């Protein structure tokens, strides 16, 4: 098929920070940015870090999400398609410029491919950069209406058909005005089917509560940073972007077991739940929780992050970790459909 070239140009980026939750936040922001600039967004693959592997994997966008649904919001093209069909004409070898806020002082270049996952990401498509372009003092934040005018003036599409960013042209956590873009991220058929199948087989007896347990070594480390900040990672999702509903606490990040049990019991009773679904990549506390709530408590093994999130999003009530960006993905999805979410160790003030 002949794919038309967008005269307004393209935005490319590497979702090079964090794992799925972080990348998803950046994805929402990048989509909002491309929309503002009225450039087509090149949908990069997701970056994954297989256990015990020294390098990263790149998983096509469509493995987890429907491309057509994103396209309902704005013009997009999967990176695989762009590189195969369009790059030879409009972004050929020899003309590939990497964009960064500041060049590396030593090399005087944008560090586009330094280290993992940066190198493997662009290498996946055999992309090397032929030049570097700083974009400071421009920014990605779309509060000001003139964002498009500023970028177009400095980097007109005729001269810069592809703005390829070293990181994502977006903030972490996702900015408030981009939250609702979540509605365009629809799980792929495969993920959706796996989630539905699990619900039919294990959670069909009645309402169920979905809970996300974010704990384990890596997370304990994160939670030691709470004292110095009003926000941590995804915490605006419960505290509000201006700390309207409180500040971050140790408990919010690492809720004690007895607090969790009490809170879960209350919700189970309130919605007359017949089961609890546990999503975690650590200890699922199945026996302990079962004793506390006296209904069936299940997890899906082996756990797959996207299927876990899809199930959490479908639960009748969801209890999330306010600090975790993984937690926040399902919270945003539920917001789109008006489904209730509460947070461990959090009562809005």
CA–CA gap between residue 312 and residue 330 (Å, rounded): 6
Nearest CB to ligand GFB, comparing residues 175 and 308 = 308
Q: How many CA atoms lie within 13 A of 226 on its CB side?
A: 20
Nearest CB to ligand GFB, comparing residues 10 and 187 = 187
Nearest CB to ligand GFB, comparing residues 24 and 157 = 24
Angle in degrees, 0-180, between the axes of helices 257-270 and 286-293, rounded to the nearest 10: 50
Q: Give the nearest distance from C-beta 195 to ligand GFB in angstroms.
A: 12
Please check whether residue 9 is in contact with residue 162, taking contact to mean a CB–CB distance below 8 angstroms: yes
Q: Give the nearest distance from C-beta 150 to ligand GFB in angstroms.
A: 30
**Could you tell me which residues are beta bridge partners of residue 65?**
187
Burial of 268 (0-12, 13-18, 19+ CB in 10 A): buried
Q: Give the nearest distance from C-beta 308 to ligand GFB in angstroms.
A: 4
Nearest CB to ligand GFB, comparing residues 222 and 271 = 222
Nearest CB to ligand GFB, comparing residues 35 and 214 = 214
Q: Give the nearest distance from C-beta 126 to ligand GFB in angstroms.
A: 27
Give the residue nearest to ligand GFB (CB). 21
Residues with Cβ < 8 Å from 329, sequence gap 6 or more?
A: 20, 21, 24, 182, 309
CA–CA gap between residue 76 and residue 135 (Å, rounded): 23
Please check whether residue 9 is in contact with residue 34, taking contact to mean a CB–CB distance below 8 angstroms: no
Q: Which of 213, 250, 281 has the alpha carbon at shortest distance from 346?
A: 250
End-to-end CA distance of the chain: 56
Backbone φ and ψ for 180, nearest 5 degrees, come out as -75, -10
Q: Give the nearest distance from C-beta 20 to ligand GFB in angstroms.
A: 4
Please check whether residue 102 is in contact with residue 116, taking contact to mean a CB–CB distance below 8 angstroms: no
Nearest CB to ligand GFB, comparing residues 38 and 281 = 281
Q: Give the nearest distance from C-beta 220 to ligand GFB in angstroms.
A: 9
Q: Give the nearest distance from C-beta 1 to ligand GFB in angstroms.
A: 34
CA–CA gap between residue 46 and residue 328 (Å, rounded): 17
Nearest CB to ligand GFB, comparing residues 60 and 71 = 60
Angle in degrees, 0-180, between the axes of helices 189-202 and 305-314, rounded to the nearest 10: 60
Q: Give the nearest distance from C-beta 285 to ligand GFB in angstroms.
A: 12
Nearest CB to ligand GFB, comparing residues 138 and 222 = 222
The residues of the shown chain that bind ligand GFB, judged by CB under 6 A, are: 18-22, 212, 214, 218-219, 222, 233, 279-281, 303-305, 308, 324-326
């Amino acid at each position: 098929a002949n794919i038309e070239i967008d005269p307004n140009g393209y935005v490319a980026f590497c979702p090079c920070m964090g794992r799925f939750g972080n990348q998803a936040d950046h994805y929402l922001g990048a989509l909002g940015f491309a929309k503002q600039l009225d450039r087509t967004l090149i949908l990069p693959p997701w970056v994954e870090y297989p256990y015990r592997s020294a390098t990263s994997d790149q998983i096509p966008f469509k493995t987890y999400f429907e491309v057509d649904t994103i396209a309902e919001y704005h013009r997009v093209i999967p990176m695989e398609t762009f590189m195969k069909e369009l790059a030879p004409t409009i972004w050929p070898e020899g003309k590939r410029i990497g964009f960064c806020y500041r060049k590396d002082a030593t090399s005087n270049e944008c560090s586009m491919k330094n280290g993992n996952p940066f190198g493997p990401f662009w290498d996946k498509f055999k992309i090397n950069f032929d030049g570097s372009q700083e974009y400071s003092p421009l920014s990605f934040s779309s509060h000001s209406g003139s964002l498009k005018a500023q970028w177009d003036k400095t980097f007109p599409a005729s001269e810069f058909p592809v703005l390829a960013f070293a990181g994502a042209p977006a903030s972490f956590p996702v900015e408030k005005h981009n939250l609702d873009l979540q509605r365009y991220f629809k799980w792929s058929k495969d993920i959706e089917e796996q989630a539905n199948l699990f619900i039919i087989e294990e959670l069909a007896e009645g309402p169920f509560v979905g809970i996300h347990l974010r704990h384990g070594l890596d997370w304990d480390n994160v939670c030691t940073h709470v004292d110095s900040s009003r926000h941590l990672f995804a915490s605006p999702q419960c505290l509000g972007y201006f700390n309207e509903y409180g500040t971050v606490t140790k408990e919010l990040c690492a809720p004690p077991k007895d607090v969790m049990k009490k809170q879960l019991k209350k919700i189970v009773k309130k919605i007359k739940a017949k089961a609890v679904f546990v999503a975690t990549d650590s200890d699922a506390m199945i026996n302990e929780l079962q004793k506390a709530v006296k209904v069936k408590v299940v997890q899906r093994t082996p756990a797959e992050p996207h299927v876990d999130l899809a199930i959490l999003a479908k639960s009748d009530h969801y209890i999330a970790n306010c600090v975790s960006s993984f937690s926040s993905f399902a919270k945003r999805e539920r917001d789109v459909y008006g489904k209730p979410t509460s947070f461990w160790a959090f009562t809005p003030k």
